Structure 1
Amino acid sequence: MNIAVEHIATDQPPDDSKARDLDYGWQSGNRLQLLENGEAYFPAVFDAMRKAQREILLETFILFEDKVGHELQGILIEAAQRGVKVVVSLDGFGCGELSPAFLRELAEAGVMVQMFDPASKTLGIRTNWFRRLHRKIVVVDASVAFIGGINFSADHLGDFGPEAKQDYAVQIIGPAVADLHHFALAQSGRQVRTRRGWRRRQQRPSPWTDEHGDGLVRLIYRDNVQHRDDIEEAYIHALSQARQRVVIANAYFFPGYRLLREIRNAARRGVKVQLIMQGQPDVLLAKLAARMLYDYLLKDGVVIHEYCQRPLHGKVALVDDEWSTVGSSNLDPLSLALNLEANALIRDRAFNQQLYQSLEALARDHCQTMPAKRKPRLWLWRLTVGFLVFHVMRHFPALASWLPAHKPRLKPIESPAHDV
Structure 2
Amino acid sequence: MRLLDALRRRQRHRAEPGFVGANEVELLRGGDELFPRMHAAIERAHSEVWLATYIFHHDAAALALADALLAADRRGVRVRVVVDGFGSKGSLARLKERLAGSGVALAVFRPMDRWWRWLQPGQLRRLHQKLCVVDHEVAFVGGINLIDDRLDIHHGLSEQPRLDFAVQLHGPLVERVAEGLRSIWSRAWLGRDFDDALQDYIPWRRRLQRWLSQLGRGPQRLPLRAPALQPVCAAFVMRDNLRRRRTIEHAYVDAIRGARRRVDLVCPYFYPGQRFRRALQDAARRGVQVRLLLQGKVDYRLAAWAAEALYTELLGHGVEVYEYTPAFLHAKVAVVDGAWATVGSSNIDPLSLLVNLEANVVVQDSDFARRLADEIDTALAHSARVGERGGTGLRAMLHRAAVAWFAYVFLRVAGAAGRY
Q: TM-score range by the shorter chain?
A: 0.7 to 0.9
**Range that drifts further, 113-122 or 287-296:** 113-122
Amino acid at match of 1:103: K
Task: Map residues 27-42 of structure 1 onto 2, 5 A cutoff.
Answer: 27-42=20-35
Q: CA RMSD in A?
A: 2.7
- Classify the secondary structure of the residue corresponding to 1:189: helix
CA distance in structure 1 between the partners assigned to 2:404 and 2:260 by the alignment: 27
Task: Map residues 298-337 of structure 1 onto 2, 5 A cutoff.
Answer: 298-337=315-354
Could you tell me whether the CA contact under 8 Å between 2:160 and 2:326 is conserved in 1?
A: no
Residue 173 of structure 1 is matched in structure 2 by 170
Amino acid at match of 1:307: Y
Equivalent pairs, count: 361
Matched, 1:346 2:363: yes
Matched, 1:268 2:285: yes
CA distance in structure 2 between the partners assigned to 1:370 and 1:100 by the alignment: 43
- Indicate how the Cα distance of structure 1 residues 178 and 227 shifts in structure 2: closer, same or farther if over 3 A, else same: same
Query: Identity over the aligned pairs, expressed in percent?
Result: 36
Could you tell me whether the CA contact under 8 Å between 2:30 and 2:149 is conserved in 1?
A: no
Residue 53 of structure 2 is matched in structure 1 by 60
Amino acid at match of 1:217: A
Amino acid at match of 1:177: V
Residue 266 of structure 2 is matched in structure 1 by 249
CA distance in structure 2 between the partners assigned to 1:264 and 1:352 by the alignment: 22
CA distance in structure 2 between the partners assigned to 1:104 and 1:303 by the alignment: 48
Q: TM-score, normalised by structure 2?
A: 0.80
Residue 80 of structure 1 is matched in structure 2 by 73
Amino acid at match of 1:48: A
- Indicate how the Cα distance of structure 1 residues 264 and 381 shifts in structure 2: closer, same or farther if over 3 A, else same: farther
CA distance in structure 2 between the partners assigned to 1:213 and 1:169 by the alignment: 22
- Indicate how the Cα distance of structure 1 residues 156 and 219 shifts in structure 2: closer, same or farther if over 3 A, else same: farther
Amino acid at match of 1:286: A
- Classify the secondary structure of the residue corresponding to 2:245: coil
Could you tell me whether the CA contact under 8 Å between 2:309 and 2:403 is conserved in 1?
A: yes
- Indicate how the Cα distance of structure 1 residues 285 and 384 shifts in structure 2: closer, same or farther if over 3 A, else same: closer
Residue 7 of structure 2 is matched in structure 1 by none
Task: Map residues 217-228 of structure 1 onto 2, 5 A cutoff.
Answer: 217-228=234-245
**Gap runs ≥5 in structure 1:** 1-16, 192-211, 401-420
Matched, 1:93 2:93: no
- Indicate how the Cα distance of structure 1 residues 133 and 107 shifts in structure 2: closer, same or farther if over 3 A, else same: same
Cα deviations by residue, 1:344-364 (Å, 9 ceiling, x for unpaired): 111010110000000011101
Could you tell me whether the CA contact under 8 Å between 2:58 and 2:94 is conserved in 1?
A: no
Given candidates 13, 16, 23, the residue that maps to 1:23 is: 16
- Indicate how the Cα distance of structure 1 residues 388 and 232 shifts in structure 2: closer, same or farther if over 3 A, else same: farther
Structure richer in helix, relative to its length: 2
Q: TM-score, normalised by structure 1?
A: 0.80
Cα deviations by residue, 1:181-214 (Å, 9 ceiling, x for unpaired): 11111222289xxxxxxxxxxxxxxxxxxxx981
Residue 384 of structure 2 is matched in structure 1 by 368
Residue 147 of structure 1 is matched in structure 2 by 141
Could you tell me whether the CA contact under 8 Å between 1:131 and 1:339 is conserved in 2?
A: yes
Amino acid at match of 2:380: A
